[in-house]
Amino acid sequence: MSKPNSLDRSNPANILVVDDTIANLEVIVDTLTSASYSVSAVTSGQRALKQLQRQIPDLILLDIQMPEMDGFETCQKIKTHPETAHIPVIFLTALSDNNSIAQGFSVGAVDYITKPFREVELLARVQTHLNLHFLTENLEQQVQHRTSALQTALEQVKQSQLKIIQSEKMASLGNLVAGVAHEINNPVGFLNGSLSNAQDYLQDLYEHLELYQKHHPPGTAIQEHAAEIDINFLLDDFPKLLQSMQGATDRIQSISNSLRTFSRADTENKVKANLHAGLDSTLLILKYRLKANSLRPEIEVMKDYGELPEIACFPGQLNQVFMNILANAIDNYDELTQQFSYKELQNQPQKIKVTTTTLPDRGAIEIRITDYGRGISEDVRGRIFDRLFTTKEVGKGTGLGLAIAHQIVTETHGGSLTVESEVGHGSTFIIQLPLTQGESYS
């Protein structure tokens, strides 16, 4: 079924005339053709409906009094079909009583012309309703165009909002973590320096004590006190105590370095970064959530790291992606406590596996984060990266985390973020990032 182009007014308007009287058809067709209209003519309502299946006219002139299917029924069928409902219909009728006129308008006609008609009136009414028809169609197209433009603008605003939220979250978290790391560094630096001095002082004291004992043998009181405090044990254990303190400060220094790695501020351009360092720093920050509590056992993290080259990226943003996915995996185990007891959960794997590998054939690296929780239904998988979609209780999820993560991976880094899951068998989030800056794939 072909439609006329309402915007192309260089083509003559197409009019369908329906009248069972051949003489009337000839007069109307001659009149309209003389006025440069393209005219089709049929002699019954049934033929009119068949003609509409082949071609959609711009306007229909329809006789009311016809055998088998009159004009009212024909018009009603035209208006009930979505492909033809928009066509203006003008009735041609010898019936000028109010009831007939009202019935014509009730079935969808836009006007009526009484027989015998005057040529000037026929052409004037036809031209008026064609103009109205074209204006209406053009207006609808403009509305559709504006609506489409508004929808595009709205989507751009939503994407901008996500970027702003993402930037603000990372800035706030980064400032907090960087501040904590800075506050840790000061006392740790002091402890490191003090421990180094303490070891030197202790060595001097040992040497002095040995020299004193050599030249001034201790009396009975000193020997008794030495036995009471177990001087030999103190001399042997104190260096070990200092070594343990040094190990603790080194651990705190390592934690501080990991915090700085996680909170590193992204520059305007991508930089080369080690993604394993980002994963490790994220896991360190989440370590307190992995520990056992009164409701569930400890969540074990298994790392299966391959050889990953440094890639050009925004490491701070990717750390946020890791944080969102890993935090959701922990949430899954926390939510299981509402269905199972501590003892029952001990018999279920409380594990998260992080696997990294290089995909030479795709020119990419891949990170898989797997949990062995409840899994995700097919319906949820189809919407999981949608903005504002969440399966969590009110107040526990914004529906922005995975949407932002998806945007960071796909738009900012030209990679892909997908999920594989089966209800009852856990979920795997798969991040793929191009090895070469500027390349992208889906």
Tell me if 390 is assigned to some domain.
Answer: yes
Percent of the chain with pLDDT over 90: 28
pLDDT tier for residue 330 given thresholds of 50, 70 and 90: very high
The answer as to whether 412 is a domain residue is yes
Between 183 and 7, the higher pLDDT residue: 183
160 and 216 assigned to the same domain: yes
Output the 3-class SS for the chain. CECCCCCCCCCCCEEEEECCCHHHHHHHHHHHHHCCCEEEEECCHHHHHHHHHHECCCEEEEECCCCCCCHHHHHHHHHHCCCCCCCCEEEEECCCCHHHHHHHHHCCCCEEEECCCCHHHHHHHHHHHHHHHHHHHHHHHHHHHHHHHHHHHHHHHHHHHHHHHHHHHHHHHHHHHHHHHHHHHHHHHHHHHHHHHHHHHHHHHHHHHHHHHHHCCCCHHHHHHHHHHCHHHHHHHHHHHHHHHHHHHHHHHHHHHHHHHHHCCCCCCCEEECHHHHHHHHHHHCHHHHCCCCCCCCCEEEEEECCCCCEEECHHHHHHHHHHHHHHHHHHHHHHCCCCCHHHHHCCCCEEEEEEEEECCCCEEEEEEEECCCCCCHHHHCCCCCCCCCCCCCCCCCCCHHHHHHHHHHHHCCCEEEEEECCCCCEEEEEEEECCCCCCCC
Claim to verify: residue 377 and residue 257 sit in the same structural domain: no
Residue where a domain terminates, one of 222, 246, 265: 265
In a domain, 430, yes or no: yes
Is the model more confident about 403 or about 162?
A: 403
Tens digits of residue pLDDT in 79-96: 999 899 999 999 988 777
pLDDT at 338: 86
The predicted pLDDT at position 351 comes to 93
Same domain, 261 and 274: no
Give the total number of structural domains in the chain.
Answer: 3
Better-predicted residue by pLDDT, 440 or 88: 88
Q: Could you tell me the pTM of the whole model?
A: 0.51
256 & 397 share domain: no
Are 287 and 414 members of one domain?
A: yes
325 and 422 housed in the same domain = yes
In a domain, 299, yes or no: yes
* pLDDT for the residue 182: 64
pLDDT value, residue 240: 84
Residue 339: predicted pLDDT: 86
Which CATH number covers residue 334?
Answer: 3.30.565.10
Domain presence at residue 391? yes
Q: Are residues 102 and 215 in the same domain?
A: no
Residue at 125 is within a domain: no
> In which domain, by residue range, is 279 found?
266-442
Whether residue 188 lies inside any domain: the answer is yes
Confidence (pLDDT) at 438: 57
Q: Are 317 and 260 found together in one domain?
A: no
Same-domain status, 322 and 337: yes
- Domain-terminating residue out of 265, 288, 308: 265
Q: Which of 265, 281, 307 is the last residue of a domain?
A: 265
Q: What does pLDDT average to over the chain?
A: 83
Q: Are residues 50 and 158 in the same domain?
A: no
364 pLDDT tier (thresholds 50, 70, 90)? very high
Please indicate, yes or no, whether residues 270 and 260 belong to a single structural domain of this protein: no
Decide if pLDDT at 37 tops 50. Answer: yes
Q: Is the pLDDT of residue 140 over 90?
A: no
Residue 6 lies in a domain: no
Mean pLDDT value across residues 220-237: 82
- Co-location of 102 and 185 in the same domain: no
